[in-house]
């Protein structure tokens, strides 16, 4: 881990990334791809130590309230966050300035900040997004080795439900010959229904591979799934999009299930839901 003083923190799309790099160890991680030009080892987390101060200044001068997102490029609840508490401070600042928050993570450490999230949600809107890929707990420990397993993430969703904090689940990626099967999808969808999530984000049954993450993924396959990397090379070559043979069938199961349980499965509608800042705060501050 190393520390930097960042120049800016809020992207044009109102997203923040407090950390760069990740230690959760997901074997399929796209953020490892060479195109992101990371100038340090992926596990050597870059910490933007002045992120809260930058965000405070930025939000103080921002005229229109909106949702502030975090978690798209790296997890805001890395183990390092336990001590550093930068994500927590940023949430406090979001709350102080009356903005909304949309947080994406795989870690149950988010439960530490549940009171702040509940308060943001009462004031305007907070949405907790959790990624779940693998229902089988043993398999989950192989594909996402350094973060809590899916069952614990489901428990975190249930805690959010108790506090009326809306949730969205990212069902992504599905790894051909590993978790791209009906049994896995059914288990994950049952978790979503029980937690009464607002929606699921699923771009299709498959994953993306490009230089950097492909090599890492194949070496993990060689370690844990003997012979599978050869099958991938044969079937997919150097393709960026790796689409499962079960894509059509599983997507139709997913869409049907979501319709039946009142969960948004349309990607655009899901992103609209995540980005929409409710006008209730604007109205309150007007009066
Ligand atoms: S949590 Fe996200 S950023 Fe971290 S290793 Fe997994 S996929 Fe990559």
Q: Would the CB of 95 count as within 6 Å of ligand 1? A: no
Q: Which residue has the higher pLDDT, 284 or 113?
A: 113
pLDDT of residue 256: 98
Q: pLDDT at residue 42 above 80? A: yes
What pLDDT, on the 0 to 100 scale, is given for residue 280? 62
Question: Taking the C-alpha atoms of 246, 182, 151 and 189 in order, what is their torsion angle to the nearest 10 degrees?
Answer: 90
Q: Are 113 and 87 spatial neighbours (Cβ–Cβ below 8 Å)?
A: yes
**Tokens for 40?**
């340090």
Distance 239 CA to ligand 1 centre (A): 21
Q: List Cβ neighbours of 200 (8 Å cut-off, separation of 6 or more).
A: 168, 169, 170, 171, 189, 192, 254, 258, 263, 264, 265, 270
User: Ligand 1 centroid to 24 CA: how many Å?
Assistant: 6
Q: Give the position of tokens 């896995």.
A: 184
Residue 103 has pLDDT above 80, yes or no: yes
Cα separation of 238 and 208, whole Å? 10
Residue nearest to ligand 1 atom 8, measured at CA? 29
Q: Are 152 and 132 in contact (CB under 8 A)?
A: no
Average pLDDT, the chain: 96
Cα of 158 to ligand 1 centre, how many Å? 22
pLDDT at 207: 97
Confidence of residue 25 (pLDDT cuts 50, 70, 90): very high
| Angle, alpha carbons 158-272-131 (nearest 5°) | 40
130 φ, ψ (degrees, to nearest 5): -125, 135
User: Model confidence at 286, in pLDDT bands (50, 70, 90)?
Assistant: very low
Instruction: For the domain covering 2-286, report its CATH number.
Output: 3.20.20.70
The encoded tokens of residue 62 equal 């921002």
Please check the confidence at residue 244 and state whether its pLDDT lies above 90.
yes
- pLDDT of 283 > 80? The answer is no
Q: Measured in angstroms, how far is the CA atom of residue 182 from the centroid of ligand 1?
A: 24
Domain layout of the chain by residue ranges? 2-286
**Per-residue pLDDT at 279:** 76
State whether the Cα torsion 109-110-113-118 is positive or negative.
negative
Distance between CA 34 and CA 56 in Å, rounded?
Answer: 32
- Residue identified by tokens 């997919």 is 236
Question: pLDDT tier at 287 (50, 70, 90 boundaries)?
Answer: very low
Describe the chain by its helix, strand, coil percentages, rounded to 5: 45, 15, 40
Q: Is 75 in the pocket of ligand 1 (CB under 6 A)?
A: yes
pLDDT cut 90: percent of the chain above it:
94
- pLDDT greater than 70 at residue 284: no
Which pTM does this prediction carry? Answer: 0.95
pLDDT per position as a tens digit, 58-92: 999 999 999 999 998 889 999 999 999 999 999 99
Length of the chain: 287
Kindly report, residue by residue over 205-243, the tens digit of the pLDDT: 999 999 999 999 999 999 999 999 999 999 999 999 999
Percent of the chain with pLDDT over 70: 97
What is the C-alpha end-to-end distance of the chain, expressed in Å? Answer: 46
DSSP for 189-257? HHHHHHTT-SEEE---SEEE--TTHHHHHHHHHHHHSTTHHHHHHHHHTT-SEEE-TTHHHHHHHHHHH
Counting ligand 1 atoms within 8 A of each CB, the residue from 18, 19, 24 with the most, and so the one to mutate, is 24
The model's pLDDT over 108-166, given as tens digits with 9 standing for 90+, comes to 999 999 999 999 999 999 999 999 999 999 999 999 999 999 999 999 999 999 999 99
Is the predicted pLDDT of residue 285 greater than 60, yes or no?
no
Residue nearest to atom 7 of ligand 1 (CA): 29
87 near 76, Cβ under 8 Å? yes
**282 has a pLDDT exceeding 80:** no
pLDDT of residue 73: 83
Q: Comparing 32-46, 54-68, 239-253, which segment has the lowest mean pLDDT? A: 32-46
Q: What is the reported pLDDT for 72?
A: 86
């Amino acid at each position: 881990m190393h520390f930097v003083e960042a120049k800016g923190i809020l992207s044009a799309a109102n997203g923040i990334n407090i950390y760069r790099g990740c230690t959760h160890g997901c074997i399929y991680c796209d953020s490892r791809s060479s195109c992101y030009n990371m100038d340090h080892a992926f596990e050597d987390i870059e910490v933007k130590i002045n992120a809260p101060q930058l965000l405070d200044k930025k939000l103080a001068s921002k005229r229109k309230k909106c949702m502030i997102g975090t978690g798209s490029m790296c997890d805001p609840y890395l183990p390092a966050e336990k001590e550093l508490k930068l994500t927590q401070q940023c949430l406090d600042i979001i709350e102080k300035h009356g903005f909304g928050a949309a947080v994406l993570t795989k870690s149950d450490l988010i439960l530490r900040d549940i009171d702040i999230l509940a308060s943001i949600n009462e004031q305007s809107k907070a949405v907790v997004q959790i990624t779940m890929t693998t229902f089988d707990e043993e398999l989950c420990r192989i594909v996402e080795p350094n973060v809590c397993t899916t069952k614990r993430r489901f428990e975190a969703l249930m805690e959010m439900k108790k506090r009326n904090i809306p949730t969205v689940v990212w069902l992504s990626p599905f790894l051909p010959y590993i978790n791209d099967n009906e049994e896995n999808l059914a288990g994950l969808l049952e978790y979503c229904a029980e937690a009464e999530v607002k929606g699921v984000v699923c771009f299709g049954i498959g994953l993306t591979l490009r230089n950097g993450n492909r090599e890492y993924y194949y070496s993990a396959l060689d370690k844990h799934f003997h012979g599978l990397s050869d099958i991938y090379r044969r079937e997919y070559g150097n393709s960026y999009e790796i689409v499962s043979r079960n894509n059509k069938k599983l997507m139709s199961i997913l869409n049907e299930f979501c319709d039946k349980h009142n969960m948004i499965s349309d990607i655009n509608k899901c992103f609209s839901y995540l980005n929409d800042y409710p006008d209730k705060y604007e109205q309150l501050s007007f009066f």
